[in-house]
Structure 1
Amino acid sequence: MPVPEEDDTLLNTPDPDPLHLSYYAVSDVGRVRKDNQDSGYAGPWLLAVCDGVGGAARGDIASSTAVGELTQLDAAPTAGDLLTRVSDGLHEAHESIAKQVDLDPALSGTSTTATVALFDGHRIALGHIGDSRAYLYRAGELSQITTDHTFVQSLIDEGRITEEEARIHPHRNLILKALDGLHEVEPDLFAIALAPGDRVFLCSDGACGVLEDARMASILATGSPEFAAIEMVRASLDAGSSDNVTCVVADVLTGEEAAADTTLAGLEPMTVGAAAEPKLRMPRGLFRGHRSGDTGELEPIDAEIPEGIDYAIVDDPPVDPEAYRYAPQAPRRFTWLRRVMALAVIVGLLWVAFASAYWWTQQQYYVGEEDGQVVVYRGIDGIPGLSSVYRTTDLAVDDLPEAARSDLDAGIAADDYEDAVSIVQNLAEQMMPPERADQ
C-alpha cells in the first residue's frame, strides 16, 4: 500500500472535531542481549522509538537521553509549525547527547536512531533518522511511512536486492544516519493526516527486522493497543529476533469514541526501555569536598604559657650597617604568586595547543581492520594513542578480494566520516555475488 498523503480536505475543514490517541508502549531486552539499549515513549501527543547504537560506548545512554529530550514535545498543540517542533526536538536530543560525551569521553561513538510522531489532533508530523520504523494501519492495509537510513536500503532503492533479501543480508545492520552529537542532524520530516480508525505503529528493528508485513498487519488488525504492542514483541522474539524489541501502538479515536473509552481517562504517558531507568553519569571529580580540604574555618587557638617557666625578653643585638647592606634581602611580597601565575599561563597555553592538536586528530578518519573485521578508525593511522576504533562493521576481511585486503592493511584514508562510510559501502559491494553485482 502506498504511503498516505496529506489530506487537504480534512485539514481545510473549518474547526474539525479533534481526534484522540489511545496508546501503549512496551520494550523487551530480548533473549540474547544483556541490556536494553532501546527507549520508547507514548503519550497523548507524542510517540517515539529510539534504538541506541554503540556497544561498549553505551547506546542506552544515547537512546534514553534522546527520549528524555523528546518527551518535552508531548504537550497540547500551540501556534507554530508542527514539523519545526519535531526538527527542533531532534536537534535538542542531538545536542544533549553531545553534552553527555563531553562529560564522559568513554561515550564517544555512541548514537541512536530516532522515529518520532507528533500529534496535533488531526495529523502527525514525523521525524525520522536511522532504521527504526513507523507504520500506518488503515482500512486493513499496512503502510511503511518511513524509509530506513541503511546500506541495504540503498541497495533496495537501486534495485540490487529485494525486501526479502534485505532481511537476511549480512550487512543489514549498517546504519548510515543516527543522532550521535557529532555529525549534522539530517532527519526526514513530513506530515500525514489521520482519520478515525487508523492505527499508528512505531518499532525498533528488533521487530520489523524479523517480521514480514503480512504478519505485522495480522497482529495490528485485532485487539487493543496494549494487546497489539505486547503481541508484536512476543511474535518478534518467537521469530528469532536477537535484538532488543520496542513497540509503540496508538489508535486514532473520535471525540465520542474517546469519551466512551473508560481506560482513556486514566491513561498516563508511558516511558519504556533504557529511558525508564535513566543512568546517571556524573562528571568525574564533581564533588571535591568543602573548601577542597581547607581548614581555615577553624578558630585560632591562643597558646598559653605553662606555669613555672619564666621568659626573658632579650633585645636584638645591634646590626652592622655594612653587613646589613650586603646581607640577602627578603623576597618581595607576592613574588611567589606572580611566578605561579606565570607558570599557570604557560601551562594553559601548552594545554590549549595540545587540546587543539588532539581535537584535529579526532576529526580524521580511515578504514582498516581489527580482529578480522572491517572497522572505521578515528585519529591518525600508525600513531599510538591518537587512533581508536570508531565504528565496527560486520564485513569480514577474509571475504574481501586480495587487493582490498592489502589496502586495509595499509589503512584507507577518508576525507571525513561520511567518506569513510562510502568506503565501507564500496568494500561491501565488492563482496556482492557476481550475479548481483551485474544487476
Structure 2
Amino acid sequence: MRPLPSEQPLPPDGPTVDAPEEEPPPVPDTVEASTEPLRLGYYAISDVGRVRKDNQDSGYAGPWLLAVCDGVGGAARGDIASGVAVNELRQLDEAPGSVDLLVRVTDGLHEAHESIAGQVDNDPALSGTSTTATVALFDGHRIAVGHIGDSRGYLLRGGELSQITSDHTFVQSLIDEGRISPEEARIHPHRNLILKALDGLHEVEPDLFTIALAPGDRVFLCSDGACGVLEDARMADILSSGSPEFAAIELVRASLDAGSSDNVTCVVADVLTEEQFAASPLHDDTEPMIVGAAADLKRRMPRSLFRGHRSGDTGELEPVDAEIPEGVGYAIQADPPVDQEEYRYAPLPPPRYTWLRRIMALALVLGLVWVGLASAYWWTQQQYYVAEHDGQVAVYRGIDGIPGLSSVYRTSDLAVDELPEAAQADVEEGIAADDYEDATSIVRNLAEKMMPADDEE
C-alpha cells in the first residue's frame, strides 16, 4: 500500500483557523478538482463484534459528511464519547457554503470536544472517556479530512488502495522512526496505545488536509476493529467490487472472520457524477445513516448483525462478559488477562479534577500529620519529673530539657538549698518519675533528707 500524498496539515487553532490560500504542487496519483459537481453514494454499518458486550463505535454517512468515531473509556463509557462526537459532527452534513471546508471540519471537532467536556461536567463518572475521530467533509469536488486517533481513512483509486490518515499511536511513532515495520506493528504488545483523542480536556490537535476527488473513487473510513486485523490487500479486494453496501458489510464480516475482538465500524462511499448517481439505485435512498452508539445513546443494542451473510452463518459468538479468551484475535495476553479497552489508555490517566484530588490528598496528609503530632504531644504530657523551680522542689510535666514540651505542674514548699548536697545535685539535674504519683513520692523522700536546722546542731 502506498500512502497518498496530501496537503500540508494545518495547526488546529479553533474557530479562527484560516484555510491555506494556495494549493500544494501536484503529486503522483492525485487529480485536479473536478469542474462538474459530484455526488456520494454511501453506506455505513457498525457491529458490536463477537467478544465485546457493548458497542463503543459510532459512524455516520450522509450526502456531505462521512465520519467514524471509536470510543474509549471502559467503565467511563466510551460509547458516550463517540456518540456525542458523531451527533455533534453530523451538523456538518449540509451543502457547502462560503466557509472553507477545513475551517468547518476544525469547528466541528472543537464542538465535539466541548460537548464531551459538557457531558463529563454533568456526570463526573464519565471522567476518562474519549474517542477517536476520522471525518471527511465533501463539497462536491473534494473532501476535507480531519483526523485524530487510530481510526483510519482510505481512498481506493484505479484499483489501488491508499491510506490517507496516519495513526496517532505509539507503534506508528516507532514505524515513523524506522524501528519496526507495519507488519510488526500489527502484533506489537503496545499497538493499542493512542497518543491523541477527543476527550473534552486536552487541546484538540487533529491532522487536517484536503483531497481532490474524481468519479470512480471510493472513500473508506473504519475503526481499528477492521484495519487492525485486515491486510491492505484484503481490504482492497473487497472494496474493488460491489456496491458501498456490499463492501461495507463484507468488510465487517471479513474483520470478524479474521479474529477481530473489537467493535467494527465501516463507512464506504462512491464518488459519482450526477448522471451516474441518477442511474444508480442510490438516488432513491439518500437519507443519512447514523450507526453504532450514536444511533441511540439511551437504548443499547449489543447484538451482532452477523448471523449469516452471503455464505451463511459466520459462526458468530454471543457477546460475553468474561475476559477475552486466549487466542482470540490480537488480544494481549497477561496474567490476569488485560482488557484491551482499559489498557488502550493506560499510560494516559485523565487529569480532570486533578486540582481537587491534590487538595484532598494534601488535606489527608495534613490530617495525618496533625493526628501524629497531637498523639505525640499527648504522650509527652503523661510524663513527669522532679526538678528545681525558683529555688523550690517542683513536679514538672513533659519532657525534661525540651522547651514547649515541659511545664511546672506542682511546686512544693521544699527549698532546694535545704537538701543535702547530693540531693540538691539530683534535683538540679532532674529526677525522672514513672507518673505523677511517683513524682510526689520522690518529693516526700527528698523532704525526709532535709538538712537539720542550725539551732539543732
Structure 2 length normalisation: TM-score? 0.61
CA apart distance, 1:171: 0.4
2:281 corresponds in structure 1 to: 262
1:390-429 matches, within 5 Å, as none
Contact 2:171 2:190 in 1 (8 A): yes
CA gap of 1:43–1:386, structure 2 versus 1, over 3 A, is farther
Secondary structure in structure 1 of the residue aligned to 2:118:
helix
- Counterpart selection for 1:75 from 94, 99, 102: 94
Counterpart of 2:195 in structure 1 is: 176
Residue 130 (structure 1) aligns with: 149
Larger Rg computed on CA atoms = 2
Structure 1 position 2 matched with structure 2 position 12:
no
Asked if 1:34 is matched to 2:35, the reply is no
Structure 1 residues 41 and 157: CA distance shift in structure 2, 3 A: same
Q: 1:376 to 1:83 in 2, by over 3 A?
A: closer
1:131-146 equivalences in 2 (<5 Å): 131-146=150-165
Deviation, 1:12, is 6.9
Change (3 A) 1:40 1:263: same
Report the CA distance between 1:231 and its aligned residue: 0.2
Equivalent residue, structure 1, for 2:220:
201
Residues 184 and 376 of structure 1: CA distance in aligned 2, closer, same or farther (over 3 Å): closer
In structure 2, the partner of 1:251 is: 270
CA deviation after TM superposition for structure 1 residue 380, in Å: 8.5
Shift of 1:267: 2.2
Separation of aligned partners in 1, 2:141 and 2:61:
17
Q: Residue 273 of structure 1 corresponds to which residue in structure 2?
A: 292
Report the CA distance shift for 1:380/1:96 in structure 2 as closer, same or farther (over 3 A).
Answer: closer
Which residue is equivalent to 1:48? 67
Q: Contact 2:33–2:213 at 8 Å: present in 1 too? A: no
Residues 104-158 of structure 1, C-alpha deviations (whole Å, 9 max, x = no match): 0000000000000000000000000000000000001000000000000000000
Would the aligned equivalents of 1:36 and 1:244 in 2 still touch at CA under 8 Å?
yes
Please tell me whether the aligned partners of residues 105 and 137 of structure 2 are also in contact (alpha carbons under 8 angstroms). Answer: yes
SS at 1:92's partner residue?
A: helix
Aligned equivalents of 2:160 and 2:337: distance in 1? 46
Q: 2:223·2:266 contact (CA, 8 Å) conserved in 1?
A: yes
Q: Does 1:22 align with 2:41?
A: yes
Give the whole-Å Cα distance in 1 for the aligned partners of 2:134 and 2:295. 18
- Give me the whole-angstrom Cα distance separating, in 1, the residues matched to 2:78 and 2:357: 28
In the TM superposition, 1:235-246 aligns within 5 A as 235-246=254-265
- Separation in 1, partners of 2:347, 2:39: 47
Q: Gapped runs of 5+ residues in structure 2?
A: 8-22, 300-335, 363-457
**Would the alpha carbon gap of residues 382 and 261 (structure 1) be closer, same or farther in structure 2, given more than 3 Å must change?**
closer
- 2:133 maps to a residue whose letter is A
Matched, 1:63 2:72: no
Q: CA deviation at 1:263?
A: 2.9
Flag the 1:382–1:199 CA change in 2: closer, same or farther, 3 A.
closer
Identity of counterpart residues, as a percentage? 76
SS across alignment from 2:281: coil
The aligned residue for residue 102 of structure 1 is 121
Give the RMSD, CA atoms, in angstroms. 2.5
For 1:70 and 1:106, the matched residues in 2 are separated by 24
The CA deviation at 1:80 is: 1.6
Runs of 4+ in structure 1 displaced over 3 angstroms?
Answer: 4-13, 370-387
- Kindly provide the CA deviation profile for residues 301-328 of structure 1, in whole angstroms up to 9, marking residues without a partner as x: xxxxxxxxxxxxxxxxxxxxxxxxxxxx
Report the residue type matching 2:274 in the other structure. Answer: G
Q: Does the CA-based 8 Å contact 1:50-1:66 persist in structure 2?
A: yes
Contact 1:61/1:279 (CA < 8 Å) preserved in 2? no
Q: Distance in 2 between matches of 1:208 and 1:221?
A: 16
Task: Give me the whole-angstrom Cα distance separating, in 1, the residues matched to 2:209 and 2:357.
Answer: 45
1:90 to 102, 105, 109: 109
Q: 1:11 to 1:79 in 2, by over 3 A?
A: farther
- Alignment deviations for residues 221-273 of structure 1 (CA, whole Å, 9 cap, x no partner): 10000000000000000000000000000000011101111332322100000
TM-score by length of 1: 0.64
CA distance in structure 2 between the partners assigned to 1:382 and 1:127 by the alignment: 34
One-letter amino acid of the counterpart of residue 232, structure 1: L
In the alignment, is residue 149 of structure 1 matched against residue 150 of structure 2? no
